[in-house]
Amino acid sequence: MLLGGTVYPLHLAISQQWKVHYFSSDMAVNEAHRAEELRYLADPEGVIGERAMTALRRIGEALGLDYAGVDFALGADGEVLVFEANATMRIVPPPPGPLGDRRRPFIDRAMASARTLFSGIGQP
């Protein structure tokens, strides 16, 4: 998610299939993938690299929105392949259990940022 100009990663989905969604990915059955996801959530630039993080920030600048999401893949050379970027993506609290509990602090952090962004909307 791109919230107020800051990148907030929510998840990393790894799969052997080309069409990847978190619920259909290999995350539930592969501990190494889950460990990589936690590294990404804790240190996105350290995992995907400066080039990719810069690209995500530039996408945010081009969108010109305070709230937006980006679905993307990372090529072997570090290039970002964008599937979609828009203001209609939601921050969804993860379900209880091993997959969700590990991600919860990172999602909670993004939710807190979104609440701060929206706290003044509609106020006179």
CA distance linking residue 5 with residue 67, whole number of Å: 8
| Number of Cβ atoms within 10 Å of the Cβ of 124 | 2
* pLDDT value of position 124: 59
pLDDT, one tens digit per residue, over 47-103 is 999 999 999 999 999 999 999 999 999 988 889 999 999 999 999 999 898 889 999
Over the chain, what is the mean pLDDT? 92
Pairing mode of beta strands 80-86, 67-74: antiparallel
Tell me what pLDDT residue 54 has.
96
Q: What is the pTM of this model?
A: 0.89
Give the tokens for residue 81: 């392949």
Confidence of residue 16 (pLDDT cuts 50, 70, 90): confident
